[in-house]
């Protein structure tokens, strides 16, 4: 599709998984700052951040190229997606289908509700957690 997807993390723990999800490059910030790594790769046009932490976000700004954008993806407030035309929605669905985009969830059986809450509070949730009734 013409994009380079660079995964940035504070350790190598997620490296293999990042490549499974389609990353083309991986940067471990325990040895090098994210900004330095991104600048070596000609800087970023868009940085999507999934951890709304100012200590993480601020250093990434220096890794943006000219007119670059920083997008914070976090469960804070609401956001709507406005389509200019019905074709926009169809193109998004077509993209997801062609690229094999799949929803990833962590399932917890109803009898392990307390475990699921502890898992979430520990910060170890990687995807949407879903309690299933079986």
Q: pLDDT higher for 26 or 85?
A: 26
CA–CA distances in Å: residue 114 to residues 111, 120, 124, 134: 8, 10, 14, 16
Structure confidence by residue, pLDDT tens digits, 58-99? 889 999 999 999 988 876 666 666 667 788 778 888 888 888
* E strand segments, 22-116: 25-28, 44-49, 64-72, 105-109
Is residue 14 scored above 60 in pLDDT? yes
Q: How far apart are CA 44 and CA 30, in angstroms?
A: 20
Q: Is the pLDDT of residue 1 over 60?
A: no
**64-71, long-range: CB within 8 Å, 24+ apart, which pairs?**
64/38, 68/43, 68/44, 69/45, 70/46, 71/46, 71/47
Strand ranges inside 15-127, DSSP E: 25-28, 44-49, 64-72, 105-109
Look up the pTM and report it. Answer: 0.62
């Amino acid at each position: 599709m013409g994009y380079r997807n660079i995964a940035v993390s504070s350790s190598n723990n997620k490296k293999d998984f990042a490549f499974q999800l389609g990353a083309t490059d991986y940067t471990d910030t325990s040895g090098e700052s994210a900004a330095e790594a991104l600048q070596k790769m000609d800087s970023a046009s868009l940085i999507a951040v999934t951890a709304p932490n100012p200590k993480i976000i601020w250093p990434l700004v220096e890794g943006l190229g000219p007119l670059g954008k920083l997008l914070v993806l976090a469960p804070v407030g609401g956001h709507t997606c406005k389509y200019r035309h019905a074709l926009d929605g169809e193109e998004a669905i077509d993209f997801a289908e062609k690229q094999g985009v799949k929803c990833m969830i962590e399932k917890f059986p109803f009898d392990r509700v307390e475990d699921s809450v502890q898992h979430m509070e520990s910060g170890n949730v990687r995807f949407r957690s879903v309690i299933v009734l079986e």
